[in-house]
């Protein structure tokens, strides 16, 4: 199963792979900003609003990463099917 997944990753079209990597960098940036806010909250607990907003940002970054990854595979499969 993992061998097939690795094989599919290696066979992705280069333009789709570049788009996936840009999306993953974007979502990593969002997650990094949220982790910075969480770090500030852990050292200087000012309000719980910053805690909740950083948790929401982190979940959003993770969901963007999963979305870009899955959509990249789907677009590649659709492109190869036609």
pLDDT value for 36? 94
- The domain ranges of the chain are 13-81
36-63 pLDDT tens trace: 999 998 888 888 888 899 999 999 999 9
Q: Give the separation between CA 36 and CA 2, rounded to whole angstroms.
A: 33
pLDDT value for 75? 92
Please compute the mean of the pLDDT values over residues 13-41 and round it to a whole number: 93
Neighbours of 52 (CB within 10 A): 11
CB neighbour class for 45 (10 Å; exposed up to 12, middle 13-18, buried from 19): exposed
Mean pLDDT of the chain: 91
Please compute the mean of the pLDDT values over residues 12-37 and round it to a whole number: 94
């Amino acid at each position: 199963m993992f061998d097939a997944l690795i094989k599919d990753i290696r066979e992705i079209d280069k333009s789709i792979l570049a788009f996936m990597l840009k999306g993953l960098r974007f979502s990593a940036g969002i997650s990094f900003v949220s982790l910075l806010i969480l770090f500030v909250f852990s050292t200087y607990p000012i309000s719980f609003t910053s805690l909740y907003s950083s948790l929401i940002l982190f979940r959003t970054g993770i969901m963007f990463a999963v979305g870009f990854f899955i959509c990249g595979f789907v677009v590649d499969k659709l492109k190869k099917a036609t």
